[in-house]
Structure 1
Amino acid sequence: MNTIQQQISQLAQECLHDDSLFIVEVQVSTNPKFRKVLVLVDGDNGVSIEVCSKISRELGGKIEEGEIIADSYTLEVSSPGVDFPLNSPRLYKKNVGRSLKLQLADGKESKGALLEADEQGILLNEEVKAAKGKKIELQERRLSYTDIQKAIVTVSFK
């Protein structure tokens, strides 16, 4: 038997009528007094509020029609914010050229520009402290997704 989250994820996928769109994450709260369904959608070229609204209306109808959630609930369809961790090769590919802050599986942190992303991992132009002084040097480093615990796009206001 599929969980509610899996069922909603499958229905949400059916509501994407453009191959450039993809589901980033589906969350369903377990609090029966305030049930909230959050569907994060993104696209290779971003996603507009209008597209999120269309998906929300269609998905809401499918949830009601299939009687997936018996109680009242709130449905929110949105795009992930800039602070949302990258969690799929597709999100990494979308953010090539941007700066990332990484929490690595070995507990260390890393920063740098994302140069490439494929199905196995990424190529990062990593910021490394020089041996002498406080100067920062750049060094290319290939990382597999298993090496990365968490990755967030960093925004510079310089």
Structure 2
Amino acid sequence: MQKERVKELLESALNENPSLFLIDFEINNNNQILVVIDGDKGVSVNDCIEVSRKIEHNLDRDEEDFSLEVTSAGVSTPLRLPRQFKKNVGRKLTVKTEKETIEGKLEEAGEETILLKWKAREPKPVGKGKVTVKKEAALSYNDIVEAKVMITF
């Protein structure tokens, strides 16, 4: 399977719907093509079908047998791209770095960093008991080991 040809078809399909973007793409040894997409406004089943058709209808099964799977990034899929963080501003995330794990609300997502805010209970500076403090952390995308949206019911 020619990976470059499939990639060209995939890029062409995504260019037709600019709100969609690629998360992952691979072709395994059995000519199984796996594509994972996301969208600024989410991904519908029809979006997956359209991308699938653009690829499948331009490849010749008589030349080479293949299977094709186009899926959307699921809720449990870690965020990877700044574009994914931007579409999740306002939601609660669990973000792991080399040093710590932070659960907080994603307040901002720029080109290089994100800003998380949360409240924590800490001992009072003087006396007994605890006090609620507002905390925040600006993290570089390079420092993020894993980030997931927290699902609340």
TM-score over 0.5 for the pair: yes
Aligned residues: 146
Q: CA deviation at 1:15?
A: 0.7
Is the alpha carbon distance of 1:89 and 1:7 closer, same or farther for their aligned partners in structure 2, counting shifts above 3 Å?
farther
Q: CA deviation at 1:127?
A: 4.6
Pick the structure with greater CA Rg.
2
Residue in 2 that maps onto 1:14: 12
Alignment of 1:1-158 (within 5 A): 4=3, 7-16=5-14, 17-30=16-29, 32=30, 35-64=31-60, 70=64, 72-104=65-97, 106-131=98-123, 137-157=133-153
In the alignment, the residues of structure 2 paired with residue 38 and residue 118 of structure 1 have an alpha-carbon distance, to the nearest angstrom, of 29
TM-score, scaled relative to structure 1: 0.80
Amino acid at match of 1:10: E
In the alignment, the residues of structure 1 paired with residue 131 and residue 151 of structure 2 have an alpha-carbon distance, to the nearest angstrom, of 21
Q: CA deviation at 1:7?
A: 4.6
CA displacement, residues 83-108 of structure 1 (integer Å, 9 cap, x when unaligned): 1111110000011111111110x242
Is the alpha carbon distance of 1:95 and 1:55 closer, same or farther for their aligned partners in structure 2, counting shifts above 3 Å?
same
In the alignment, the residues of structure 1 paired with residue 110 and residue 118 of structure 2 have an alpha-carbon distance, to the nearest angstrom, of 17
Q: CA deviation at 1:28?
A: 2.4
In the alignment, the residues of structure 2 paired with residue 51 and residue 11 of structure 1 have an alpha-carbon distance, to the nearest angstrom, of 15
In the alignment, the residues of structure 1 paired with residue 71 and residue 79 of structure 2 have an alpha-carbon distance, to the nearest angstrom, of 16
| RMSD of aligned residue pairs (Cα, Å) | 2.3
Gaps of 5+ in 1: none
Amino acid at match of 2:66: Y
TM-score, scaled relative to structure 2: 0.83
Q: CA deviation at 1:116?
A: 0.6
In the alignment, the residues of structure 2 paired with residue 54 and residue 10 of structure 1 have an alpha-carbon distance, to the nearest angstrom, of 15
Instruction: Report if the CA contact (8 A) 1:110-1:127 is conserved.
Output: no
